[in-house]
Amino acid sequence: MKTLSQSDFKKYLDPSIVSKLSSLELKAKLIVEGFMLGLHKSPYHGFSIEFSQHRQYMQGDAIKDIDWKVYGKTDRFFIKQYEEETNLKSYILLDVSNSMSFSSEGQISKFEYAKLLTAALSYIMIKQNDAVGVAFYSDTIEKYLPPKASDIYLREIVSHLINAKTNMKTDTVKALSLVAEKIKRKGLVIIISDFFDDVKSVLTSLKHFRFMKNEVIVFQILDPLERSFAFGRDAIFKDLESAEEMTTQSIQVQRAYKEAMTDFIALIKNECVNNGIEYNLIETSQSFDKALYSYLQKRIKLH
């Protein structure tokens, strides 16, 4: 694959473009490469995601841990790094409830955006020799992949992302509580969701991760139409999780809806900020660099 040029990097941060590529692993790679090229024009110039799965042999290391294949190529002793030697344990919690499947005309779905973001974050973390795990949740944990750090494991994460489907049910509080029970060592917890659930209960769950001394980043993923409600005509609205329908003239309810949505977003944001949780509102029309910058800022602070 050719190396990206400076003129290419913005293209591969555009969800509408990168989503058309065939391989999810390739999508993640191009998003990250585009992001890193973009860093040359940012305050983070010089940040590197280069890494090695080895470290140089030091006196006292066990001989059995020497990688003899590397020695044969380099005539130098290197030790294989194991999970406990990784820099950080990260947990990505991906909402797979059915509300995430929504997309308006011309946009990728919230779920597709969230999967691409999860893949890109996993790619960066593993290239930094951080251990990353992923939990797929709806009203329970659909799948849990514990944190590990290896290229092989990245392919396993990508494989599960490709096969992931949305679920009709939602119980964010129950699911996040189950994930919290699995986190035995404090680390970085990233939640990717639209948070269409009982918001006060969800916020209590988010605070629980902070109480356990984890660093927390929230990515609230919304479709642009969910914020603007700009249907501009009579419409039938269907709840993606309960299947209930209602017909309305959208102009009549647009103002009330937008006020309610603004209050909903503000409540989540304010509670996150007040509890030391990094909050990010992301629309599916936005390039991926906004989310990746937020992660990078947090990662630098934890270094």
Q: What is the pLDDT of residue 83?
A: 44
122 neighbors 157 (Cβ within 8 angstroms): yes
Domain residue ranges in the chain: 54-81, 84-302
Q: What are the average pLDDT values for consecutive 10-residue runs of the chain, which has 303 residues?
A: 58 84 86 77 50 60 71 70 64 95 93 96 89 94 93 93 89 91 90 93 92 94 88 58 59 78 94 95 93 85 70
137 neighbors 93 (Cβ within 8 angstroms): yes
Q: Reply yes or no on domain 84-302 having CATH 3.30.420.40.
A: no
Q: What is the pLDDT of residue 233?
A: 60
Distance between CA 187 and CA 204 in Å, rounded?
A: 19
Cα end-to-end distance, the chain, whole Å: 31
Task: Give the type of residue at 4.
Answer: L
Q: What is the pLDDT of residue 134?
A: 97
